[in-house]
Amino acid sequence: MLKAEIHCHIEGAADPALIQRLAKKYQVDMSDIIQDGRYVWSNFTNFLNTYDKASSVLREPEDYRLLTYDYFSRLAAQDTIYGEIFGSSDHAAVMGIGYVDLVEAMSAGIEDARRESGIEGRIIMTCVRHLGPEAADAVAEQVAANPHPMVTGFGMGGDERSFDIADFSSAFATASDAGLGLTAHAGEFGGPESVIGALDHLGVTRIGHGVRSIEDPELVKRLAHDNIVLEICPGSNISLQVYSDFASHPLPKLFAEGVRVTINSDDPPYFHTSIEREYEIAKKEFGFDDATINDFTRTAIEAAFVDEPTRESLLKRLDNAA
């Protein structure tokens, strides 16, 4: 079955072995966050800190190119025809990598993988919610001032429990004026009000996670009516204990209510997952048949931040395979 993914953080996709190798090169001790070849963390806040520390050895554009190439090659090996990855210029900047160098390195990684396997990809530049609205404005301004054909979206990750979402509206307006697609993490650790805030103040067409929308029936109706697409990451939600088990995960209910859903891996090695495993979860844990799962892939391509000819060609590939 062909696959597509529209929610994955590139820093969060770094294999622990790659981070260990870079840590050795830059002489950083990672024994507190990588044990027995696995990332160790205990809760969402600690996960974000672990993620920041692991990212701190991505120090040269070549590290980002290699990471991006490695991730897209792995996606292609799992029959994925399209991948959209979040990049964080704030993380790169801490390590002295400038915005343009970051974008060129990530693009080169995608293009190297595309030449080998035919996989298509795009980049969504993200701001980090817990760094606040001013930092978000700076990221949006960078994106707008340096247009690049591979950067087609603007998003926001980080801790949605911090700052007032309305204060991020200027960053999203800047990105929207620059012609970028918009998405924001909401309804993961925040409740339905967090999703409502993202819709009302940021003008997004997609929501990262959004699963806790299920707690507000009116919001669920709004999502379905307005064709808002949820980038759902089931394995991530269980790992981070947003839900205790797949039986209590709301994806099937959201889908039954007419909400457009997609399945994604978020930060795969942190959650011991992959896009392949997420598709398996859709089948084995949620009981969806292949045709329905194929429709999730179609939704991802329909909602992708990509030009129309590329979208048409991806949809054709999906139809031909089915």
The span from the CA of 242 to the CA of 249, in Å, is 9
State yes or no: residue 160 binds Zn ion (CB under 5 A): no
CB crowding 50-77: b at 16 or more within 10 Å, else e: bbbbbbbbbbbbebbbbbbbbbbebbbe
User: Looking at 84, 120, 188, 278, which residue is catalytic?
Assistant: 188
State yes or no: residue 153 binds ligand ADE (CB under 6 A): no
Minimum gap (Å) between residue 230 Cβ and ligand ADE: 14
Contacts of 45 (CB under 8 A, 6+ apart): 159
Which residues, numbered 242-281, are part of the site for Zn ion (CB under 5 A)? 266
Q: What angle separates helix 61-77 from helix 99-117, to the nearest 10 degrees?
A: 30
Q: Select 63 or 90, whichever has its Cβ closest to ligand ADE.
A: 90
State yes or no: residue 190 binds ligand ADE (CB under 6 A): no
The count of residues interacting with ligand ADE (CB under 6 A) is: 10
Minimum gap (Å) between residue 218 Cβ and Zn ion: 25
188 as an active site residue: the answer is: yes
Q: Select 5 or 266, whichever has its Cβ closest to Zn ion.
A: 266
- Residue of minimal Cβ distance to Zn ion: 266
State yes or no: residue 84 binds ligand ADE (CB under 6 A): no
State yes or no: residue 297 binds ligand ADE (CB under 6 A): no
Among 5, 12, 261, 296, binds ligand ADE (CB under 6 A): 12
Question: Of these partners, Zn ion, ligand ADE, none, which one is at the site of residue 12 (CB under 5 to 8 Å by kind)?
Answer: ligand ADE
State yes or no: residue 87 binds ligand ADE (CB under 6 A): no
The site map against ligand ADE for 90-129 (x = CB under 6 A) is ----------------------------------------
State yes or no: residue 278 binds ligand ADE (CB under 6 A): no
Minimum gap (Å) between residue 66 Cβ and ligand ADE: 20
Q: Select 109 or 155, whichever has its Cβ closest to ligand ADE.
A: 155
Question: Of these partners, ligand ADE, Zn ion, none, which one is at the site of residue 65 (CB under 5 to 8 Å by kind)?
Answer: none
Among 84, 266, 278, 295, binds ligand ADE (CB under 6 A): 266
Q: Select 156 or 318, whichever has its Cβ closest to Zn ion.
A: 156
The span from the CA of 189 to the CA of 187, in Å, is 6
Which residues, numbered 211-240, are part of the site for ligand ADE (CB under 6 A)? 236
Secondary structure (H, E, C), the chain: CCEEECCEECHHHCCHHHHHHHHHHCCCCCCCCEECCEECCCCHHHHHHHHHHHHCCCCCHHHHHHHHHHHHHHHHHCCEEEEEEEEEHHHHHHCCCCHHHHHHHHHHHHHHHHHHHCCEEEEEEEEEHHHCHHHHHHHHHHHHHCCCCCEEEEEEECCCCCCCHHHHHHHHHHHHHCCCEEEEEECCCCCHHHHHHHHHHHCCCEEEECHHHHHCHHHHHHHHHCCCEEEECHHHHHHCCCCCCHHHCCHHHHHHCCCEEEECCECHHHHCCCHHHHHHHHHHCCCCCHHHHHHHHHHHHHHCCCCHHHHHHHHHHHHHHC
Question: Of these partners, ligand ADE, Zn ion, none, which one is at the site of residue 158 (CB under 5 to 8 Å by kind)?
Answer: ligand ADE
Residues that bind ligand ADE (CB under 6 A): 9, 12, 51, 157-158, 185, 188, 236, 266-267
Active site residues: 188
